[in-house]
A and B are shown apart, each in its own frame.
Chain A
């Protein structure tokens, strides 16, 4: 499956942009007084988006890599990175005396944990040839377990440190810093997937692993790189969570997994591998963030929300299958 069929491309992006606009309008009308469009609300949503968005990007990468790729351990890894950072770092560096050093070290430590966790996933999937879904399910339990043991089950508080708190909470030019980080990641991933040999190889491996193998694409390296990146993205997400909640816990965000998968699928990523566009996943993430905030604003209960996420997931899976069938029919018609 190539990424260069023009009509298909335009329609997908247009559809997602249309959904975003529909949700914004619905939010505007359902919450009188335009609370939904207020600067504060937009800032609040822009602050919440990166946590989910980064996890969705990780999900996208793992799905593109093919072979039933998926990363169920992202949130657990994010939590573990936060817990390790929050527990270990105060013992080595005094936060009051050196806030910037503390912040940099904290970020560095979290990214290291994310890197190692992601590498673990990649190595198990590549070398032992286990299916990603089972592997990441297992590592999810391992990461959660380690985090629970280390934190003794309770959340670990972070001392109030200006720079660290600024990452998740403050704005520059009215836009949250966390949002800048997310956009930077999105641009990087877009460049990586579209304009580097690595990206091309990743798509090829996802489309047809056997052919890719015989074409000389190093399967193990690709998989390990991919899942390591997933781990790093998860750690970024955890960093923003930890900064916003000023604490780290082994139990955060259990419910985010479904939404991250939903965003990836809604963004047109093929769960079987080989197709996924960063810009589409970005707009899918914004759409779901808007929807989630709108739910809270108009008072939709959590349970109705879960029901709706499930229905949306099914819808987009069905929709993309229909799209695929249509595309194949069209290409066959062209050939004939």
Chain B
């Protein structure tokens, strides 16, 4: 049977893309970092840490992967396939920690080492790495927000997802801080979800500005929240009049800070977090344990504290976050 050219061309495209995109699998130990979503600056920066680890440890196969959209089911599928592949260790930033509990239990029974990040409610992990105490981070953002708003006015808070553990803790830290210290700071509504998507954050901020015309402050959680909020604030012509704080990367948020659409950001270097996670995984593979004062070989994680987690795993905490605004964001090259 003569096969027509058009269908064959398309099939050829599909097949060649598969082979072009494929990579060689090798026999040495492998640590795979699975992030919440690929393609956003935050995790692209984290990948630099993974690449740095790979270069420093040529005997280990280190790589990063993640779903194209922030979807817990997709991340689950990727983890299932990696467990089936029997990687040596997984370094995961879970989008929705409870979703991964069953597969991580299976992974552990297969002897795969598990390191997680931003998931201190996860039971089936060996170590969960946190850059700091999450509620303190959120409270600090809120302090800066309150100072900017002169301790009074209406404000709103955004999160990537109500299931994203660390972000909810930051938001709650901010809310608790405002409730305890600033009675004149009024939270207009509950935490608004943005799905770690800049466009969605922009729409959510726009809706909030329309619904609450006296809104004077925003606290964002996902790194894309402040970007979306900044866009909305600038479009509404209120740059400089509304205080906008949240997690963000200096390179991404810089242009908005110049225009006063974002007042200030805070972050911890995702590259260091990625590098630290992989270092912890490597230490696990070598049979070492992490204790109070251990040096993970990464700035900010030179003397970590360790506490018990909800399951058999431990939570490792690092040294802190960085406060950045218009005056100092240029110091960073990412």
Contacts and interface: CB of A to CB of B under 8 A. Distances in A.
Partners in one complex: yes
Interface of A: 11, 26, 30-33, 35, 38, 40-41, 43-45, 47-48, 152-155, 157, 165, 168-169, 241, 244-247, 249, 251-256, 291-308, 311-312, 314-315, 318-319, 322, 326
Contacts of B110: 40
Nearest to A326: B1
5 contacts: A45-B84, A153-B162, A294-B18, A303-B39, A312-B10
B147 to A, nearest CB: 30
A301 to B, nearest CB: 7
Contacts of A298: 21-23, 25
Contacts of B68: 255, 301-303, 305-306
A312 B10 CA distance: 7
A312 B65 CA distance: 23
B14 interface: yes
B106 to A, nearest CB: 8
A26 B18 contact: yes
B311 to A, nearest CB: 12
Contacts of B101: 246
A298 B17 CA distance: 13
A165 B101 CA distance: 12
Contacts of B73: 241, 245, 249, 252-253, 256
Given A252-B73, A314-B10, A297 B85 contact: yes
B76 interface: yes
Contacts of B71: 251-255
B69 A255 contact: yes
A155 B96 CA distance: 8
A55 B193 CA distance: 28
Interface in B64-87: 65-69, 71-74, 76-78, 80-86
A168 B39 CA distance: 31
B26 interface: yes
A153 B81 contact: no
Nearest to A245: B99
A35 B67 contact: no
Contacts of B85: 31, 35, 41, 296-297
B76 A249 contact: no
Given A33-B25, A48-B77, 7 more contacts: A157-B98, A169-B102, A245-B99, A249-B163, A251-B72, A252-B73, A312-B10
Contact of B24 (A32, A252, A302): A32
Contacts of B24: 30, 32
Contact of A302 (B25, B74, B82, B86): B74
B25 A296 contact: no
Given A32-B27, A244-B76, A315 B7 contact: yes
Contacts of A40: 84, 86, 110
Nearest to B192: A153
A154 B72 CA distance: 11
A153 B193 contact: yes
B72 A44 contact: no
A293 B38 contact: no
A154 B6 contact: no
Contacts of A307: 17
Nearest to A26: B18
Given A252-B73, A318-B7, A300 B21 contact: yes
B63 interface: yes
B84 A249 contact: no
Contacts of B86: 35, 38, 40
Nearest to A157: B98
Contacts of A302: 38, 66-69, 74
Interface string B1-34: 1011011001101100111011111110000000
A315 B21 CA distance: 19
A312 B99 contact: no
B25 A31 contact: yes
Nearest to B106: A169
B163 to A, nearest CB: 5
Contacts of B13: 311
A249 B162 CA distance: 11
Given A40-B86, A41-B84, A301 B65 contact: yes
B25 A293 contact: no
B124 to A, nearest CB: 11
B263 interface: no
A168 B101 CA distance: 14
Contacts of B76: 244-245
B88 interface: no
A41 B18 CA distance: 20
Contacts of B116: none
A25 B23 CA distance: 16
Interface in B15-64: 17-19, 21-27, 38-39, 63
B278 interface: no
Given A40-B86, A41-B85, A315 B14 contact: yes
Nearest to B78: A296
B161 interface: yes
Nearest to B162: A154
Contacts of B78: 296
